[in-house]
Structure formats: structure tokens, C-alpha cells
Structure 1
């Protein structure tokens, strides 16, 4: 198992009280697997990824019952432990390459800095690897591009550079946080194809975070659906699209227009209500106030978890009615 996290919690102090942004997440990723973590904005996807990397600010409280990554127990995640893993065993592609790349440093400097620290490579050796990675991600004339600055590249090229940067340390686990959000549809497809090919070529495990279910259909082995800080359903991608079992998942999929079926100009179905606030404690199913079939049992704590074998599960007190 490349990543095995149990009962991950992330809490952030605010003026109004403690914001419990991630509320007991279980996340397992096998070697070579692509897991897509999906959900609407604000559900805790990016916080989950950032906590895995150990990049949250010190005032954030992060706890877990189990935290195994790349064969190492990181339950007590010291800065020194995580610094050795970041870039070498696990790497991350951030949402916005424009802000993630330093405009005052050359591309070559930004690509080689981490690998020179982790592997004690010479400048020449690090530059050679940077050229190799830029070529692998489709940057033309990579040797000449090392001396250029980020503003000299298009948005799609900057995203490719971010992928090359993440691959410099030859990690086993790659976390991609909304890697296609700021790109047009054509470039999105190219980046997804690139990620899929790199995963096969390099044997990567991939955690892809997105709110775009079209992206999920194109690349995922398994899908974990997140709502209000918890994963409410996990299933193989084909099963999830064919027979969604959680009411929230059904609502998300119902809102996707279907070519040839959805009438042009018609209103798409919407999930009623609002996402609950996450300040303070919360009992029962967080989706119950928006769910058409919710009953008194949905307020009970903990919410029943129905296992479907392996890492697949569903959290819903009304699972049998959803299936019917």
C-alpha cells in the first residue's frame, strides 16, 4: 500500500471557533493506482492533500490514527521526517502554476533545487535530469529553456513544468491538486493524457483532486466522493458512474448534462439547500438537510459505514432505499 491514512482530522482555529475542515477521513491508495478525490469547493479536498504533504501552517491541528506513506509510519509527523519524504517519495502538483512558480528564478533553478538537496547531485547532473524531465513532459528544446523565467511560458507549458518539477525526485506517489482548472479544454485533455502516460511509464501512484467529473471518467481507477470534510462514498470509477449509491453522489451526477438526452437550454437538476457550516461539532450525516430521503436515523452518530470489500464503502443510513 502506497498510502494508508485512517481517521485524518484537520482543525483550524478561527474567530468564531474551531473549524473542523476534515472530519475523520480514511484514504488508501495502492501501488500504481489512480484515485480521484472529488467534491464541491470547500469540502476539504485540498486541505486533505496539503496535510498529507505536511504543508499546512503550524496553527492547523492535524491528527490521525494511522499514517503510513511509502512504507513509513508517519503517525508522529516531524518536520524532519516529512522533509526527507517530500520530493523524493511523494510530490505535489499545485492548483495554479502561475503562483506556484517563482517569477524571479529561472526554470532550471526551480527544477533542480530540491533534487540537489535530496540526492547531493552536482549542478551538471541536476541540469541533465531537468532536461530529461522537461523533454518527458513535452517541453520543446528543453536545454535552452532552463535559463528562461516562468513569464516566458504559456499556461499549459507552466503546468507541464510543474509536473516536471514534481517528477524530479522520482517520487512513488504523485498528488495533483486540480491540475487542469485554469486551462482550456484542449490543454486539459493534453495534461490528463500526459499524467496517465507518466503514471504507466514511471509506475506512479496518483491522487488526483478535482471537482470535474469529466476528468474523473478519463483517468480514475477508484473515486472517493467527499462532502463536508468526510468521504461519503468510494467505488471503482465505472461502478460509481453506473450505479451511484450515496444521495450526494447521485445529485452530483444528475447535474451533468448528457449529450443527446439533456434538452438544450433546459435547467439542470440542482441539489437543494446549502452546505453546512463546519465550525464546532457535527453529529450524524452532514448531507441530511439536503437529502430527499433523510429520516430521523440520519441524525444518529456515527453514520453507518457499509463496506463493499477492500477500500470501497458507503456512509449512509438509508443505503437500502437509495439502492432501491
Structure 2
């Protein structure tokens, strides 16, 4: 089953200096049971895309798409009632920072159960039983006792587990996780990734994971979509992209990862020079050209050449050699 079928998503935000073309023609697909990682630098449009996919994009934004398929429904132009029904049953999201996403004035039991009580008409007892089961599944001990506690009484890793349990309360088919390990230390990050991978496998979820950490991608992804300046510049199976990245931006990201046993201690890691370009007004040519060692004169004038082959897609006039 195809859970996400997105074609030519464009998000434009009006500003005092002109229109900000934040997302510029994004295509994404996701099947049931699949994990797709959307990666890229901060500010490239990953989180904005995720928030739009769950119907929570900025109200001032102008959003268009040739196709906006979610769980078999066309969500283009849908009213809030339709989005509320979808979020309450088939679509859910884990947000970046659990401490700012959880309400400090309400018990975690109230926050876990209020959505399903409203959307599914469950009794409080049944909803709390589901919450206890999910808290135990995500590794929260003494779950029944902890329903009456508040978010500040949980550690950072436990609060992220609470967010995962909350996202699963509605038995979603499609789960979006936006930087779910950013605020956690490395040991807890590994635990959360293992937990997500196990839940995705056991429940058959389609998982869209937003991250800038390629280590996370290597651990969990079936497919990877690399985003730069509001566009997907490379997409394909994770193993193939890690083995032989085609887009120079992807290759630059890969080169910046230290490899245990191969990267000499104390040596500086390669870095991509320059900065992400501004996206106010029209963007001509390739947005990466000023940072790219493989740029050609044509890159300034013509849109990047899109190539599709072997289940992969990349946009570049002068790609890296594939092996």
C-alpha cells in the first residue's frame, strides 16, 4: 500500500523582502513497512515539509502540489476537519523537542489519552489501558503509576519515549519522526533508534524520518532522500547511495563523516565550503553551484539535469561517477 504519494510540492512564504521559495518542487513516496530518511542541512526545508505533510504548515504559506496523496486520500485543499480525522487515525508525528511538545501543566496520562478519547470515543479506562501497554512497549517502567506524573518528572530520553507512545496511541499506519534524537546524548540516541526500528518492524509502519545525521540514516533507512535548498537532489536505496553518492552535495556530506579505524585521529574532516543560498525570489541554475567543486558554466544558467536509473534519482549536470 502506498502511504505517501507527493508530487511537485511547493511552499512559498511571503516576507517583507519578497516571496521565500522554501520548498521548490519536492516529490516523495512511501510504502507500508518502509523507512524513508529525509536528510540535509538545517534550513533546507525538511521540517517544513514534514509539518505540511501532517497539515500543520504555517497558515501564511502558499502550498501547492500536483498530487498530495496520504493513505489513499487526496489531501490537496482539504479543510481542517479532514486533516483532524486523518491525524486522529492513520497519520501521526513525533516532534523534535519533547519538552516543548508536552504540556507541563497536564499529566502524561491525560496527554496520552485525550486524543483517542475524542477521535475514537473510547472510555477513559480503555484509553488508559492502551496508554499503559504502549508505555511498557517503549520501555517506561511502572507505566500505570506514571500516568499521573508530569513531563518534568521524566528524563530527556523518557520524554522522547513518551512522545513515541503518544504518536502510536491512534494506531497509525504512517509515522513522521522529525529529528527525534537531536536533543539526546549518543547512548540514548541509539536506544531510541533501536526502539523506532523495532516498532516499525513489529507494527508494519511506514516511517518518514527527518534528520541531518547520516549515522542515523545508515542505521535505519531503506531509502534516502537528500534535500538541499528546498529540493530533493538525490534519492534512492540507502545502501546504493552510501556506496556511491551521485550528487556532489551528497558526496560532501558522506566525506564529512569520520570512519572508525580509517579516519586518522586529529586530522580535520572535509567540509563543504560556503553557505546555503537565499531562496527569496526566483532561483536560477543549480542552487549548489557556488559550493561545488564539480560546477560547470552551464550550472549557473540551466536547471540541474535530472537522471533516473536503477531505482535512483539525482539532479546534477556533472554528477559523481557511479560504481
Same fold (TM over 0.5): yes
Q: Do 1:87 and 1:168's aligned partners in 2 also have CA atoms closer than 8 Å?
A: no
Displacement after TM superposition at 1:39 (Å): 0.4
Give the alignment's TM-score, normalised by structure 2.
0.97
SS state of the match for residue 166, structure 2?
helix
SS state of the match for residue 89, structure 2?
coil
* Further displaced range: 79-88 or 106-115: 79-88
CA distances 1:143-199 after superposition (whole Å, capped 9, x unpaired): 111110000000000000000000000000000000000111111111000000101
Which stretches in structure 1 are left out of the alignment for 5+ residues?
none
- Counterpart position of 1:233: 234
| Equivalent-residue separation in structure 1 for 2:114 and 2:302 (angstroms) | 48
Mapping of 1:11-50 within 5 angstroms? Answer: 11-50=12-51
Displacement after TM superposition at 1:323 (Å): 3.9
Q: Does 1:140 align with 2:141?
A: yes
| Equivalent-residue separation in structure 2 for 1:308 and 1:132 (angstroms) | 44
Displacement after TM superposition at 1:87 (Å): 3.2
CA RMSD in angstroms comes to 1.2
SS state of the match for residue 314, structure 1?
strand
CA distances 1:23-62 after superposition (whole Å, capped 9, x unpaired): 1100101111000000011100000000001112211111
Question: For the structure 1 residues 301 and 118, does the alpha-carbon distance in structure 2 shift closer, same or farther, using more than 3 Å as the test?
Answer: farther
Q: Do 1:67 and 1:74's aligned partners in 2 also have CA atoms closer than 8 Å?
A: yes
| Equivalent-residue separation in structure 1 for 2:133 and 2:300 (angstroms) | 55
Mapping of 1:150-189 within 5 angstroms? Answer: 150-189=151-190
| Equivalent-residue separation in structure 1 for 2:237 and 2:292 (angstroms) | 24
Question: For the structure 1 residues 322 and 309, does the alpha-carbon distance in structure 2 shift closer, same or farther, using more than 3 Å as the test?
Answer: closer
Q: Does 1:89 align with 2:86?
A: no
SS state of the match for residue 58, structure 1?
coil
* Further displaced range: 156-165 or 4-13: 4-13
SS state of the match for residue 7, structure 2?
strand
Displacement after TM superposition at 1:77 (Å): 2.5
Mapping of 1:297-316 within 5 angstroms? Answer: 297-310=298-311, 312-316=312-316
| Equivalent-residue separation in structure 2 for 1:40 and 1:87 (angstroms) | 31
CA distances 1:119-157 after superposition (whole Å, capped 9, x unpaired): 111111111111111111111111111110000000000
CA distances 1:62-99 after superposition (whole Å, capped 9, x unpaired): 11110011111112222111111013111000000010
Question: For the structure 1 residues 9 and 313, does the alpha-carbon distance in structure 2 shift closer, same or farther, using more than 3 Å as the test?
Answer: same
Give the alignment's TM-score, normalised by structure 1.
0.97
| Equivalent-residue separation in structure 1 for 2:168 and 2:314 (angstroms) | 34
Q: Do 1:9 and 1:63's aligned partners in 2 also have CA atoms closer than 8 Å?
A: yes
* Further displaced range: 108-117 or 300-309: 300-309
| Equivalent-residue separation in structure 2 for 1:65 and 1:43 (angstroms) | 21
- Counterpart position of 2:272: 271
Mapping of 1:229-268 within 5 angstroms? Answer: 229-268=230-269
Displacement after TM superposition at 1:303 (Å): 2.2
Q: Do 1:247 and 1:322's aligned partners in 2 also have CA atoms closer than 8 Å?
A: no
| Equivalent-residue separation in structure 1 for 2:173 and 2:186 (angstroms) | 28
- Counterpart position of 2:318: 318
CA distances 1:251-303 after superposition (whole Å, capped 9, x unpaired): 00111111222221111111112110011110221101111111122234432
- How many residues are treated as equivalent by the alignment? 322
- Counterpart position of 1:75: 76
Which stretches in structure 2 are left out of the alignment for 5+ residues?
none
| Equivalent-residue separation in structure 2 for 1:259 and 1:107 (angstroms) | 40
